[in-house]
Amino acid sequence: MKKKINQDRNANRTVAFQGEDGAYSQEAIFKMFGPETKTLPCGTFDDIFLAVENGKAELGLLPIENSTAGAINQSYDLFLDHDLKISGEIIFRVRHALLAAKGSAIENIRRVYSHPQAIAQCEQFIASHGWEAVAVYDTAGAARQLAASGEPDAAAIASETAARLYGLQILATGVEDLSNNFTRFFVIGHSEPPRAEKSKTSIVFATEHVSGALYDCLGYLALRGINLTKLESRPDRRNAWHYVFYLDFEGHREDQPCRDMLNDLQNKSSFLKVLGSYPAADI
């Protein structure tokens, strides 16, 4: 009965993602919420935030980092422009496929279309064939455009789902350079979920521009025995040559050690924003 209730709940839920049908983000949504979940394709990462803020979607799925290509900087920057909360995370195994129009052969390929992150994740594979890499805004969009153009000497790097959706043939699978190719996504919405047994919290803060300021701020985590899981610095677009720091740590913001640490950090930092506490994904 509980499973049926969850299925009905997800069937009425709309989750926004960047890209077109067949994108890896959409596959990650189906993995987390189920294949019956409604999805809303968006042109940009900013459009994901706007869709949730405007009520077009209940939640959004935002890629935040890849295990081989690194952080997705634009995603981090948007948390300073919007006030949505992180309500979950997904660790999704990305398996890239080389797609081409029907009748094309791999020896005839001269260029490959895909998202810049996918190109970076398949850099050695592309270079080994001497192909030109052409960046487009989305992996599934690359597949759709290739299906429309039918270019016999071009290919797209996208998902096998995209191949089925757009009628392309699969020339090769698993073309990513490293087998441990995972993308981490944040689920964003208007509220945080109930406290989970295994939680994680994300924050962004800035320090005074003085010697030892960051060292002092990070010391509060060690003092409270809190495990730091991620630290990312980004330019503060409001102040030239100043930086903000995105930080993930184990624990919920309402746990006493975390509450004490955040209070200390609030007093020491020049800016602090809690982005959310959420169930930690299994790695």
Which candidate in 92, 185, 186, 249 is catalytic?
A: 185
Assess whether 185 carries a catalytic annotation.
yes
* Tokens (6 digits) for 139: 């992996």
Contacts of 201 (CB under 8 A, 6+ apart): 248, 249, 251, 252, 253, 258, 274, 276, 277, 278
Assess whether 183 carries a catalytic annotation.
yes
Q: How far apart, in Å, are the Cα atoms of 80 and each of 18, 49, 211, 261?
A: 19, 12, 25, 22
Which candidate in 37, 139, 183, 201 is catalytic?
A: 183
d(CA 201, CA 172): 39
| Residues marked as catalytic | 183, 185
